[in-house]
Amino acid sequence: MTKTHRLMILPGDGIGPEVMAEVKKLAEWLGRHADIGFETDEDHLGGASIEAYGVPLADAVLERCRRADAIIMGAVGGPQWDHVDYNIRPEAGLLKLRKELDLFANLRPALVFDALVDASSLKPEIVRGLDILIVRELTGGVYFGEPRGIETLPDGQKRGYNTQSYTTSEIRRIGRVAFDLARKRGNHVCSCEKANVMESGKLWREEITRLHDENYSDVTLNHMYADNCAMQLLRNPRQFDVIVTDNLFGDILSDEAAMLTGSLGMLPSASLGADGVPGLYEPVHGSAPDIAGQGKANPLATILSFAMALRYSLDRGDLANMIEKAVQDVLSSGMRTPDIMAAGCTEISTDAMGDALIAGLEKTMAEAA
Ligand code: IPM
Ligand code: MG
């Protein structure tokens, strides 16, 4: 019997709605041609939600997210909301969604597709075959630590402050995710912090080491200071398999790793919580307001995020593999959105990229039949 999955779709701002249109097209196509069904719900997040409801994430929308099997998001933010308060900025909607669902594990793969090896700003021999998975802690650390604020000092100056904090259980649960995933990949975890200057980093290193010794001694573990990791990612990125790190370092290192691949427009992500909680899937790229509405956006990162949803939340790794292969094929055939355009290739629109991907899937299915 065909199983029906509930998808909550949050297109968000900027290029979000355009790239999400291609995911909707793909989900409909799968519903018609594969043994899977989708029941989709859709609403606003971020700036679009501020305009519609006055808040970046409405409570009623959050409740519908909780009832979904997986949540797919486009992107949030834009210059028109740059000057509003932190708690009602578009980004606050995304942070609230992560926090409310306790989506503590953010998986950000950085994969160099063979066809795009020249798009990287590093030499092809350094990045060819690169396959890193960054596991970023997503609901703790300085993003959420208290106290935080801006206060006025007696002498009239102001002081801005945030708190970095991690508990044993927060460190251990993200550590487990990293070690478990490493076992299915290269069996190597590099844990990053600043244990040389921060107590929270010292504890992070101790807890990861203890967890490793207790339950994961079959996995190779090394520790690195986060600044060294930033440097090593440029010097010799292929030394890494899984990198586990905190919220802030993970934010920075994942952007760096993404850029190694040459296109932010290609990279998906998954944010996972406890069993039974819907995962949140989103492209790593932002809302790119400068190109919004022009059909220039690359929908592949969002499509690959949908593939991650199939794998991690819907238990359909087979369909995820099929979509990932179709992405490789479409790239090998030379079809490119402007962000990954290269000499000798054909430049196509967002919509045409979605169609080309589906045409590839149609061909794969016909061959298999
Ligand atoms: C990310 C983004 C977010 C973050 C912003 C939009 C709040 O940069 O997902 O990496 O800092 O986590
Ligand atoms: Mg970021």
Torsion of CA 49, 289, 332, 343, to 10 degrees: 170
Are residues 256 and 130 both part of a single domain? yes
* pLDDT at residue 332, as a whole number: 93
Contact 63, 96 (CB under 8 A): no
Are residues 2 and 28 both part of a single domain? yes
Global confidence as pTM: 0.93
Are residues 150 and 251 both part of a single domain? yes
Picking from 243, 263, 283, the residue at the C-terminal end of a domain is: 263
Q: Note whether residue 218 is domain-resident.
A: yes
Q: Note whether residue 62 is domain-resident.
A: yes
Are residues 131 and 237 both part of a single domain? yes
Are residues 249 and 281 both part of a single domain? no
Return d(Cα 170, Cα 207) in angstroms, integer. Answer: 10
Residue 138 CA: which ligand 1 atom is closest? 12
Query: Which residue pairs, CB below 8 angstroms and at least 24 apart, start in 161-167?
Result: 164/198, 164/200, 164/246, 164/248, 165/140, 165/141, 165/200, 166/137, 166/140, 166/141, 166/200, 166/203, 166/204, 166/246, 167/140
Ligand 1 shell residues, CB under 6 Å = 91, 94-95, 251
Residues 6+ apart with CB under 8 A from 114: 128, 129, 328, 332
* pLDDT at residue 60, as a whole number: 98
Residue 98 CA: which ligand 1 atom is closest? 12
Are residues 96 and 218 both part of a single domain? no
Count of other CB atoms within 10 angstroms of residue 102: 15
* pLDDT at residue 368, as a whole number: 82
Q: Note whether residue 186 is domain-resident.
A: yes
* pLDDT at residue 165, as a whole number: 97
Residue 195: both structure tokens together: 């244990």
- Model confidence over 2-60: pLDDT tens digits? 899 999 999 999 999 999 999 999 999 999 999 999 999 999 999 999 999 999 999 99
* pLDDT at residue 36, as a whole number: 97
* pLDDT at residue 1, as a whole number: 73
Residue 73 alpha carbon to ligand 2 centre in Å: 15
How far is residue 176 from each of residues 93, 99, 179, 186, 346, measured CA to CA in Å? 28, 19, 5, 16, 43
Contact 71, 114 (CB under 8 A): no
User: Which residue's CA is the nearest one to ligand 1's atom 5?
Assistant: 91
Q: Note whether residue 3 is domain-resident.
A: yes
Instruction: Indicate the helix (H) or strand (E) that contains 86.
Output: none
Residue 214 alpha carbon to ligand 2 centre in Å: 32
* pLDDT at residue 369, as a whole number: 79
Q: Note whether residue 5 is domain-resident.
A: yes
Which residues of the chain have a pLDDT value below 70? none
Catalytic residue among 227, 325, 351, 355: 227
Return d(Cα 321, Cα 319) in angstroms, integer. Answer: 5
Return d(Cα 289, Cα 16) in angstroms, integer. Answer: 10
Residue 364 alpha carbon to ligand 2 centre in Å: 35
251 is catalytic: yes
Picking from 206, 238, 263, the residue at the C-terminal end of a domain is: 263
User: Which residue's CA is the nearest one to ligand 1's atom 8?
Assistant: 251
Are residues 116 and 98 both part of a single domain? no
Are residues 136 and 257 both part of a single domain? yes
Residue 90 CA: which ligand 1 atom is closest? 6
Q: Which of 162, 251, 252 to mutate to test the pocket of ligand 1 (most atoms within 8 A of CB)?
A: 251
Q: Which residue from 135, 86, 80, 90 is spatially nearest to 110, judged by alpha carbons?
A: 135
Return d(Cα 42, Cα 10) in angstroms, integer. Answer: 6
Catalytic residue among 41, 131, 180, 255: 255
Residue 94 CA: which ligand 1 atom is closest? 7
Q: How many structural domains compose the chain?
A: 2
Q: For residue 351, what are the domain limits?
A: 1-104+273-369
Q: Note whether residue 314 is domain-resident.
A: yes
Q: What is the CATH number of the domain that holds 96?
A: 3.40.718.10
* pLDDT at residue 87, as a whole number: 83
Contact 186, 217 (CB under 8 A): no
Are residues 131 and 250 both part of a single domain? yes
Are residues 310 and 363 both part of a single domain? yes
143 is catalytic: yes
Q: Note whether residue 268 is domain-resident.
A: no
Return d(Cα 194, Cα 178) in angstroms, integer. Answer: 18
Are residues 16 and 85 both part of a single domain? yes
194 is catalytic: yes
* pLDDT at residue 367, as a whole number: 87
Residue 251 alpha carbon to ligand 1 centre in Å: 7
User: Which residue's CA is the nearest one to ligand 1's atom 1?
Assistant: 251
Residues 6+ apart with CB under 8 A from 279: 70, 71, 103, 270, 271, 272, 273, 308, 309, 312, 313
Return d(Cα 224, Cα 134) in angstroms, integer. Answer: 14
Buried residues in 168-181 as b, exposed as e (16+ CB within 10 A): eebbebbbebbbeb
* pLDDT at residue 13, as a whole number: 98
Are residues 27 and 123 both part of a single domain? no
Catalytic residue among 166, 194, 281, 339: 194
Return d(Cα 232, Cα 72) in angstroms, integer. Answer: 32
Residue 311 alpha carbon to ligand 2 centre in Å: 23
